[in-house]
Amino acid sequence: MLQPLTPELKQALADTLAQLLNHKSQSLNQMQNQEWWQQCVQNKRLYNAYHDLAEQFYDAVGFQLEQLPDFQGCLLQQILQQGRLPIYAPVQNSPCEKHGVSKNAVEPLGFYPQPDTAQAESVHLESEQKQPLTPPNNDNQSILSEMTDLSESNSVVPTHLPLAVTTPIIEKQSSPIPDNASTSLQTGVKTVKKMPHFQIPNARVGQNYQASIQMQHPVKQDLQIHHESVRIPENLGICFDAVTQQLSGIPTQAGEFKLIFQYKTANEQAGWLSGEVTFIVTADPRSLWQVNEPDPNAMYWKANNRCQLIQAADFNIAACSQRGRSHEHAGTFRDDDFFVAQVADSNWSVLVVADGAGSAEFSREGSRVAVNTVGEYLKAFMQKQSGESDRLLAQWQVGANDDPETKNAAHQLGNQFSDAFYSAATQAIEQIEHEATRQGVASKLFATTLLFAVVRQQDNKTFISSFWVGDGAIAVYGKDRVRLMGKPDGGEFAGQTRFLDYGCLVRDFKQRVHIGYFDDAQAVILMTDGISDPRFETDAGLENQKKWQALWQEIEPHLQQEQPEQALLEWSAFFSAGHHDDRTLAILWTVSTSSIHDSSMVTEPVEINGEEHE
């Protein structure tokens, strides 16, 4: 049984390989004039020993060595190219005699000291330039350490026999022995064997796959593969097509698989060659997510999902909230929440969504308190105010932006909802602070965004007044136009947003309130960023009409289902790589869109009190 190498032997092996990869020995200048050194470089048996060692290195890790930047022109490559030297090969008039070497010796290329005869100089004319002294670089040393496992090697060991090259080797098929030699030794130069390397694109479990095996090294080229020779693991779901010369199928399991095959290249005239390629199948990302339940005894328990449906004469409302995969994997609660309601005996309704801050411990309660407080306040407000609001809307002529009566009605409605929204948001903040005080913690642990709208839908006319703090989106969707009812609050860095607090009421409250009256709307849509991020990607994407049309094409069929709220909840579980947050959607849509007015009737913004209204 072989004994493991000691750290000293490992270090010696690494030092030898490092020197073989160097262009010159570091100690050459100190040794080249010493007699013992001259005897070393004239010893062909010693050279052949190095050749055999170099060949063993190359057979073991040839491909990796060739990737090193210093491989080209290094001692290792030169020794492999020159090949072994014959021990007994008589050469007449050999210049070696003046250096004390027998006539029967053959000068080893690059190891024998240069003769000073004119004849020898003419023979080696192409290889007379000397290489500069270059120590091994750090890249080589790190690779060598990995190859030889030198982590335990700290001992000092005897220095191995240095190597030196005085001239670079020029690949030739003839011997450098002078042409006028009566007995010429034709020594063939050994070409470094290029180890073929194959690649094939990675596959993914559960997805259609079709690709070809290609040779990448030493030359990138297509192959002719013997279809009966391909060995594929059983039950992998992949097969080889002899006609297309491709692997195809739907992988069923993840992992790294060795595929063995026989091949020919375009220039190959001989028989079939053997090859193998590593076929990597990655896992379906969805299978990597775990579903873990939160602690049922934890404070502020919340269901993983929730949905609701409201049906009225001219419109329907559906809302859903789904725990995100990130919360499923971590076994934490859903932070999003919503509130939807129809005001009794009216065509008015209230829609609210909120997204609790993921970094805030009790944000799930903050979002719940915010939507319920605001929703109940606005519902009660509209029960008292709906008659007056209806009277003002009767004076608003859609599209008549310069009409004095329309402007007056818009001003009064704007002020009415601005006051109501301020009171609703203030009450939500107060309720959150009260709960934080009760628990003896900071109110920021309940941080949440807040988006809400009061909507009147009747006779294909849609009035909306909205308030928006944080990310997500509020939009009035029409076939030919989408109006954003506010702007998302982006922070200084990606992923940041504003949360409901007194600051947003004091500094820029009026900029957060919007109103509009439209006769071409199909739906009013509120969503948290769990939906807006994967579907619109950026704040600028929210302005893209095509992205809204694509979203509508996704959700509109679900609105036609017998239980649209449940259908939307199931839809909201869609997979989107990199987007695993909670998802909440509240949508009010017209029951019939057949009488929607032509897009030419779309109104333009009306400037009222420094705000845009339509």
The whole-chain average pLDDT of the chain stands at: 77
Question: For 18-22, 136-140, 246-250, 382-386, which range has the lowest pLDDT when averaged over its residues?
Answer: 136-140
Tell me the average pLDDT across 452-466.
95
Tell me the β-bridge partners of 261: 275
pLDDT at 191 over 80: no
Least confident range of 25-39, 412-426, 503-517? 25-39
**% of residues, the chain, pLDDT over 70:** 72
What's residue 605's pLDDT?
38
The pLDDT tens digits for 542-558 are 999 999 999 999 999 99
Per 3-state DSSP, the chain is made up of helix, strand and coil in percentages (nearest 5) of 35, 20, 45
Between CA 465 and CA 474 the distance in angstroms is 11
> Residue 33's pLDDT band (boundaries 50, 70, 90)?
low
Name the band, by pLDDT with cuts 50, 70 and 90, for residue 520: very high
| Helix or strand (DSSP H, E) at 450 | strand 450-458
> In DSSP terms, which residues pair with 461 in a beta bridge?
458
Band (121; pLDDT cuts 50, 70, 90): very low
pLDDT of 183 strictly over 70:
no
- Please give the pLDDT value at position 495: 54
What are the helix and strand counts (H, E) for the chain? 15, 23
Q: Which residues pair with 258 in a beta bridge?
A: 278
341 near 349, Cβ under 8 Å?
yes
Distance CA 234, CA 249 (A): 13
Give the whole-angstrom CA distance, residue 120 versus residue 112. 12
φ, ψ of residue 468 to 5 degrees: the values are: -145, 115
Q: Return the pLDDT at 444.
A: 95
Instruction: Look at 254 and 47; give whichever has higher pLDDT.
Output: 254
Structural domains of the chain, ranges and CATH numbers in brackets: 196-283 (2.60.40.10), 303-588 (3.60.40.10)
| Banded model confidence at residue 348, pLDDT cuts 50, 70, 90 | very high
Cα gap 515→526, rounded to integer Å: 15
Q: Does the structure show a pLDDT above 70 at 564?
A: yes
Cα–Cα distance between 482 and 279 in angstroms, integer? Answer: 47
pLDDT for res 142? 40
Confidence (pLDDT) at 110: 38
Residue whose entry in the numeric block shows the structure tokens 């909802």: 417
Are the C-beta atoms of 108 and 218 separated by less than 8 Å?
Answer: no
Which residue in the block uniquely carries the two structure tokens 């559906």?
A: 318
What integer pLDDT is reported at residue 543 of this predicted model?
Answer: 92
Name the strand (E) or helix (H) holding 23: none
On the question of pLDDT at 376 being above 50, the answer is yes
Number of Cβ within a 10 Å radius of residue 179 = 9
453, β-bridge pairs:
351, 466
Higher pLDDT, 598 or 271: 271
Q: What is the pLDDT of residues 318-345, one digit of tens each?
A: 999 999 999 998 999 999 999 999 999 9
What is the DSSP-derived secondary structure letter of residue 49?
Answer: H
Task: Give the list of residues 6+ apart from residue 478 with CB closer than 8 angstroms, or none.
Answer: 518, 520, 521, 522, 596, 599, 602
How far apart, in whole angstroms, are the C-alpha atoms of residue 163 and residue 28?
8
pLDDT at 594 over 80: no
Report pLDDT digits (tens) over 273-298: 888 899 999 888 777 778 899 999 99
Q: What kind and span of H or E run contains 309? A: strand 305-311
Residue range 567-573: mean pLDDT, rounded: 97
Show the tokens assigned to 43. Answer: 């010893």
- Residue 514's nearest CA partner among 393, 612, 580, 387 is 612
Give 479's pLDDT tier (boundaries 50, 70, 90): confident
- Model pLDDT, residue 194: 57
Q: Which pLDDT band holds residue 150 (cuts at 50, 70, 90)?
A: very low
| Paired sense of beta strands 273-282 and 203-204, if any | parallel
- Phi and psi based region of residue 155 (left: phi greater than 0; alpha: psi -120 to 50; beta: remaining): beta
